[in-house]
Structure formats: structure tokens, C-alpha cells
Amino acid sequence: MFRFSLFLEVRFIRGCSFIVLGLLGMSEDRQGDVVDELLSSLLGNEGDAQQAVIAKEQALVRVRVERRRRHLVTVIEFDSSDVRSIDIEGIARELKRRLAAGGTVKGNVIEVQGDQRVRVRRLLVELGFREENILVDETIVET
């Protein structure tokens, strides 16, 4: 028999209160799945949209440029407590389309060809990320 405890936490984010449910005694991945299921059953489909907006506003984004051989690559790294709510594939698709550049997704990282730091920052703000949470490294890292 598997035993677990349910906990309830109220969080205040940007003037709104959110109730967070969790299960103790379960793996962290499974806890997130159970909490997501409970929230979606309470909020319906609009809960997913709200979660995505909140995740984007809270996400910390680091933008840097790496030199690989002779080429420059812009690396966009997402650091969020709820990365699953952020559609990284969709963001990458939109960035590549708007920047007219190739790129790829590797986990929580988007790589775009060329030095696109300034344009990426502007586009991420347009896509719903908070400007103060986008950190741009001005140096070029040699790899």
C-alpha cells in the first residue's frame, strides 16, 4: 500500500491568489502531474492558458551568444519552475520565423543561428515574457 499526504498552499502572485495542492510521499514528477490534473479539473481549459501566462511572466530567460568554429549562435535558456507550461517548441518556431534564421530546441534551450540578442529580447517581450526577467549577456562565449 502506498501512503501519501495532501498539502494545500496559497500563493499570492501579482495581486492574484492561487491555491497550490501537493502530495507528499510521491516523486516530484508525479506530484506535478497530479496537481496539474486537479487544477485542470477545477479550472477547465482556461486554467492551462492562465498557467502559461503566469509561467511566462515568472520565467527567467538568459540570452547569450556562443562562437562555434567561425559561426555565432544565439542561445536562449529558460529557467522556470514550470517549464512544461511554456511552449518552448512554439516559441522556437515563432522566433525562427520572425528572425528568418535556422535553429533548434534542446531541452530548455533554444539555439538560433547568428547574433540575434537584441531582436530576441524584443520578440520575447512581445510573446509575453517580462522584460526585467530577460537577461542578455553582452560577451561572446568561445566554445
DSSP state letters, the chain: ----EEEEEEEEETTEEEEEEEEETS-HHHHHHHHHHHHHHHHTTHHHHHHHHHHHHH-EEEEEEEEETTEEEEEEEEE-TTGGGS-HHHHHHHHHHHHT--EEEETTEEEEEB--HHHHHHHHHHTT--GGGEEEEEEEEE-
* 134 within domain boundaries: yes
* 53 within domain boundaries: no
Same domain, 36 and 64: no
* 52 within domain boundaries: no
Same domain, 94 and 36: no
**Cβ-based neighbours of 82, under 8 Å, separated by 6 or more:** 51, 54, 55, 58
Same domain, 25 and 65: no
pLDDT at 74: 97
Same domain, 108 and 66: yes
Same domain, 10 and 69: no
pLDDT at 143: 81
Same domain, 135 and 107: yes
Same domain, 79 and 104: yes
What's the CA gap between 17 and 91, in Å, rounded? 27
Same domain, 91 and 124: yes
pLDDT at 56: 80
* 55 within domain boundaries: no
Domain extent, residue 28, equals 5-44
What's the CA gap between 31 and 24, in Å, rounded? 8
CATH number at residue 86: 3.30.780.10
| Residue with grid cell 486554467, as numbered in its chain | 47
| Residue with grid cell 537584441, as numbered in its chain | 118
Total number of domains constituting the chain:
2
* 96 within domain boundaries: yes
Beta bridge partner(s), residue 57 = none
pLDDT by residue for the chain (143 residues), tens only, comes to: 445 566 566 665 555 666 665 555 555 555 556 666 665 666 565 556 777 777 788 889 999 999 999 999 999 999 876 777 788 999 999 999 999 999 999 989 999 999 999 999 999 999 989 999 999 999 988 88
* 50 within domain boundaries: no
| Residue with grid cell 515563432, as numbered in its chain | 94
